[in-house]
Amino acid sequence: MNIIRWFVTTAMKFGLRVLCRVDAQGINEVQMRGPLIVYSNHTGSIEVPLLFGELYPRPISGWAKIESWDNWFLNWIFSLWNIIPIHRGEADMTALKKALQALKQGVLFGVAPEGTRNKTGKLIRAKPGVVVIAKMADTPLIPIANWGGENFSANLKKFKRTDFHIRVGKPFKIETNGLKVTPEMRQEIVDEMMYRLAELLPEEYRGEYSDLEKATGKYLIIL
């Protein structure tokens, strides 16, 4: 399985490098093993395999909507990559337990706090689920922003290469100083996290998090 995963990931990375001009600044600063939660914006489908390929050979997992397993190819590739299916819009405790176990095993765990594709490339309001797993695992997080992938399909039809940009932020931990974490606090924390992500993006991609002056950091400790 490891040999197959290496071959598929290497071939995928090579193919995407042909189709895209990848500008991956700071990717080598991401630690080689976890526990670490990697979170990113979600503009489409291209950034998932591209980020996966750029982070390889780091052991990586993540969540993907369970409906993806209905597609035979996604079923095969996600199983090969140890991706965890999740029921969106509900408290999926099985998916959460598997994610916590992966982090205990030293895996980098990827999440997209927006919860769905933003389609335009502009950030939409994040959901607080990532805060739950980060607090339960007591693990650091690191933002990885990307842009350009939203143009991939249109460029492919025109036989044009896509400029795909990656920027890596500073790792941090969530610190609530013993306070009870309420739903309102979880939303506040994930908003603080998204402002960290927005800082890495060009202004036109910041969307809901455009006003960086609103950014706070009372629950985040930079490592």
pLDDT score for 20: 96
Kindly state the percentage of the chain with pLDDT values over 70.
100
Spatial distance between the Cα atoms of 31 and 212, rounded to a whole number of angstroms: 27
pLDDT score for 64: 86
**Bridging pattern class, strands 220-222 and 141-147:** unpaired
| Mean of pLDDT values over 180-199 | 95
Give residue 54's Cα distance to chain centre. 13
186 secondary structure, DSSP code:
H
Q: Could you report the per-residue pLDDT of 8-63, keeping only the tens digit for each?
A: 999 999 999 999 999 999 999 999 998 999 999 998 778 989 999 999 999 999 99
Domain boundaries, the chain: 2-222
**Bridging pattern class, strands 60-65 and 108-111:** parallel
Q: Could you report the per-residue pLDDT of 149-178, keeping only the tens digit for each?
A: 999 999 999 999 999 999 999 999 999 988
2, exposed or middle or buried, with CB in 10 Å at 0-12, 13-18, 19+? exposed
Spatial distance between the Cα atoms of 76 and 211, rounded to a whole number of angstroms: 41
pLDDT score for 176: 93
User: Angle at the Cα of 38 (from 9 to 23), degrees rounded to 5?
Assistant: 60
Q: Which amino acid is at 50?
A: L
Q: What are phi and psi of 69, to 5 degrees?
A: -75, -10
**Bridging pattern class, strands 20-25 and 162-168:** parallel
Region for 149 from its dihedrals, namely left if φ exceeds 0, alpha if ψ lies in -120 to 50, beta otherwise: alpha
| CATH 3.40.1130 correct for 2-222 | yes
Give residue 142's Cα distance to chain centre. 9
pLDDT score for 1: 55
**Element of type H or E holding 192:** helix 183-198
Spatial distance between the Cα atoms of 150 and 137, rounded to a whole number of angstroms: 32
Spatial distance between the Cα atoms of 199 and 126, rounded to a whole number of angstroms: 15
Contact 65, 44 (CB under 8 A): no
